[in-house]
Amino acid sequence: MNLRLPLPLALVAVLIALPAAAQTSLPTRSRPIPDQIVNRGAVQIDLTTHFGVPGVVGQVVQFNFGAQSRVNVEVQSTEAPLNAANFLSYVGRNAYDGTILHRIDNLGTTVPAIVQGGGFTAATVPATPGAASTINFTSITRSAAVPLEARLPLIRGTLAAARPTGEPNGATSEWFFNTIDNSVNLPGGYSVIGRVLGTGMAVIDGLAQTPTFAYPGTDFTKLPVRNSTLVPVTTVRVIPIYPQSVGDPTAVLSFRLRIGGATGQTSGIVSTNLTGSTLTITPLAVGTVFLEVTAEDSNGNLSLPSTFQVTVPPESILAPVFTAHPVNQTVALGGSVVFHAPATGGAADIFPLTYQWVKNGVPLNAPSSPFLVLRNVAATDAGTYACRVSNSLGTSVSLPATLTTVSTPANSRGRLVNLAVRTDADEFFEPLIVGFAIGDARTAGTKPLLVRGVGPSLAALAVPNVMADPVLRMFRDSLQVAQNDNWLGDPLIAARSAQVGAFALTGNDSLDAAVALTSPNGAYTIQITNKVEGRGNVLAEVYDATPAAEITETTPRLINVSARAKVGDGRSALIAGFVVAGNTPATVLVRAVGPALTAFGVDDAAGDPKLEMFRGTTFLAENNDWNGDRQVAALTASVGAFPLPLNGSKDAVLLLTLPPGTYTAQASDNDRRGGSALLEVYEIR
């Protein structure tokens, strides 16, 4: 459907006061957590036995209408089994992702009565000179209609299956939220398929206040538009009640942990790890400490806290305990590898830990660190490695890990080949600035690159609110070396996109920006701005376009990427993606810098960034505070990164050896106050 959008946009305001938001099924403390005595090792507490969402027995589906606009709905499968199953089938195939709300209607009353969606995607086609812009509406693929199951009333806070007037058995994909009791306003019966949980109706009420207008030449007579933008349905997903320990962390509930509870007492007696719905408490020193756990739902509602005392008695055994063991590694000759064996065993100021790495049983002359980093690996480095960790109370030895070395051609060694950063609308500074570097002291010559600023083509990937017309500029130091507004189907860009496996742009006339160039070693920045007024999602990408057959020992490499953005305080995490190519692993140093930015004049630096690493949706590792490890500090200096404070730093660092694959590093704000964070990925050679 090709529709013309008049300019300026004529909006019909619907600014009516609505009833207070319903509050049902809020997080509840079902029973207090009892006091704990921790005397011979870690204790685990299953938080699902202490917190819950009462009365919820069906599957829960979460609607996302943008950042922090989440609505959880319990599906009423018992009362409307056919319609509920039909709705869940659309959810299961992600059919609602990237759709829009297409109707807000008073139904003849004085207040908004329904908020409807589930039927259409829409993409704005920018205006050409002398013409109005248009919107292309596309119906989603619909399954066969299901019969009416009108067993529940259309009261406020329910979700119902929409159907054409006069066709009681005509429900397919569409649904609507009832913002008032519509039992009289909608005669003939509708199938109620869910109820809104918690304070989700506050979100629906906010959406219901969106101005609407009649779109010329179409059936969209109550189309909601906010700030000249259609209202997106970002995702619709089935979610669990409790957070999972691995995979997608989205759940109805999450948990907050506060050490000291209301007393403000600091840690040092125990260490804590909250993963999914499991709280692990490990003794560090003799004494007592209070812990406070609270459950929070997706809309920010809190349960009553459970505060309990943890006692580590004098007879406790506090010798070191490994929290993870080194793993076997295979590395190319001339490459790098990292073994990691973190341990706990006492507060650092009371029971300081010392690490001794051994190879084939022989102590190594290596720093006291949970990390062992081997660079420029030789055949003689192959062998079995283990770590001994000691404090004044005893010594523990890690499980052994085997290092295997292989002779591999330069073009088969693990290397970074693709770096990407995507903004979230209204979250990044203007313009989006992404930094990257090519080469090091061992390389020379030039590198063919493909650099893209993708906006409009993201709409085809169900990304909402895309940047309409990105303009890309590339600099080496302060010198501009490339610029592009619209890529216009450039044959070299198209060829390089196909060569490196980049997703295709949506036609030669798309307003995405891209350049194909050849660049020498050096540090570069990409700046992406919107040519037209407004903000939107944009993806910055850098691809190594060197054919694999041409890679030698001295071929320049992509060695790092960085981006800065605001995180936390209701904002999305900052995510950088990268690809390790080749047949052997590569070692990377990843940093989420917050407090250290204040030394560079950043006055809104994030106070406590958290760093997480994923391969696809699989969680790999995380770090909150890096604790000033000197081995990591030495690596930081060797790759040219600015130093972080060694003592008391709240910045986060990960050091990992990764097999070939696609990865994402994610920085978020652990203290939820929000601020600027810098996310960096460096290759360690």
Tens-place pLDDT, residues 430-488:
577 899 999 877 888 899 999 999 999 998 888 888 888 999 999 998 899 999 999 99
Tokens read off for 680? 């960096």
- State what percent of residues in the chain have pLDDT above 90: 60
User: SS3 sequence, 322-345?
Assistant: ECCCCCCEEEECCCCEEEECCEEC
pLDDT of residue 157: 96
Q: Give the 3-state secondary structure percentages of the chain, helix then strand then coil, rounded to 5.
A: 10, 45, 45
C-alpha distances in Å from residue 119, one per residue of 141, 143, 168, 175, 487: 9, 12, 18, 8, 33
Nearest-CA neighbor of 172 among 192, 146, 194?
A: 146
Q: Is the pLDDT of residue 74 over 60?
A: yes
Class of domain 2-30+57-239: mainly beta
DSSP 601: T
**Residue 332 β-bridge partners:** 406
Nearest-CA neighbor of 233 among 97, 137, 136, 92?
A: 97
Locate the domains of the chain by residue range.
2-30+57-239, 253-312, 321-406, 409-556, 562-685
Tokens read off for 20? 């207070």
Nearest-CA neighbor of 658 among 577, 572, 543?
A: 577
**How do beta strands 329-332 and 401-406 pair?**
parallel
Q: Does domain 562-685 have CATH number 3.40.50.720?
A: no
Question: pLDDT band at 268, cuts 50/70/90?
Answer: confident
DSSP 224: E
Strand 212-213's sheet: what is its strand order?
A: 212-213, 223-226, 229-230
pLDDT of residue 677: 87
User: CA 339, CA 403: separation in Å to the nearest integer?
Assistant: 9
Counts for the chain of helices (H) and strands (E), in that order: 4, 50
pLDDT of residue 244: 84
Tokens read off for 585? 């692993």
pLDDT of residue 9: 27
Q: Please tell me which residue, 425 or 320, carries the higher pLDDT value.
A: 320
Question: DSSP letters along 71-128, please?
Answer: EEEEE-TTTSHHHHHHHHHHHHTTTTTTEEEEEEE-TTSSS--EEEESSEEEEEEPPP
User: Could you tell me which CATH number the domain at 409-556 has?
Assistant: 2.60.120
Identical topology for domains 409-556 and 562-685: yes
pLDDT of residue 663: 94
How many CB atoms within 10 Å of residue 186? 17
363 prior amide bond cis, ω within 30: no
Question: pLDDT band at 124, cuts 50/70/90?
Answer: confident
User: CA 186, CA 152: separation in Å to the nearest integer?
Assistant: 13
CA 475 to chain CA centroid, nearest Å: 28
The pLDDT of 497-516, averaged and rounded, is 93
The pLDDT of 135-144, averaged and rounded, is 92
Query: pLDDT tens digits, residue range 556-608?
Result: 999 988 888 777 644 467 788 899 999 999 999 999 999 999 999 888 888 88
pLDDT of residue 125: 65
**How do beta strands 192-196 and 158-161 pair?**
antiparallel
pLDDT of residue 270: 85
The pLDDT of 318-343, averaged and rounded, is 89
Q: Please tell me which residue, 271 or 28, carries the higher pLDDT value.
A: 28
Query: pLDDT tens digits, residue range 220-239?
Result: 999 999 877 899 999 999 99
Q: Does domain 321-406 have CATH number 2.60.40.10?
A: yes
pLDDT of residue 247: 64
pLDDT of residue 10: 27
DSSP 182: -
pLDDT of residue 113: 96
Mean pLDDT for all residues in the chain: 87
Tokens read off for 90? 């659309």
Strand 99-105's sheet: what is its strand order?
A: 232-233, 99-105, 114-117, 175-178, 158-161, 192-196, 70-75, 60-64, 235-239
Cβ within 8 Å of residue 108, ≥6 positions away = 185
Q: Are 408 and 576 in contact (CB under 8 A)?
A: no
The pLDDT of 332-346, averaged and rounded, is 88
Q: Which amino acid is at 558?
A: L
pLDDT of residue 11: 26
User: CA 666, CA 655: separation in Å to the nearest integer?
Assistant: 14
C-alpha distances in Å from residue 261, one per residue of 52, 146, 297, 307, 415: 21, 52, 20, 6, 46
User: CA 597, CA 680: separation in Å to the nearest integer?
Assistant: 13
Cβ within 8 Å of residue 355, ≥6 positions away = 341, 343, 368, 369, 370, 387, 388, 389
User: CA 637, CA 648: separation in Å to the nearest integer?
Assistant: 19
Q: Degrees (nearest 5) of the Cα angle 38, 42, 45? A: 85
pLDDT of residue 307: 95
C-alpha distances in Å from residue 91, one per residue of 85, 118, 175: 10, 10, 12
The pLDDT of 483-504, averaged and rounded, is 94
Question: DSSP letters along 513-571, please?
Answer: EEEEEEEESEEEEEEEEESSSS--B-EEEEEE---GGG--TT---EEEEEEEEEEBTTB
Query: pLDDT tens digits, residue range 340-379?
Result: 998 877 555 667 889 999 999 999 999 999 999 999 999 9
CA atoms lying within 13 Å on the CB side of residue 602: 20
Q: Are 137 and 128 in contact (CB under 8 A)?
A: no
Cβ within 8 Å of residue 380, ≥6 positions away = none
Q: Degrees (nearest 5) of the Cα angle 581, 435, 604? A: 125
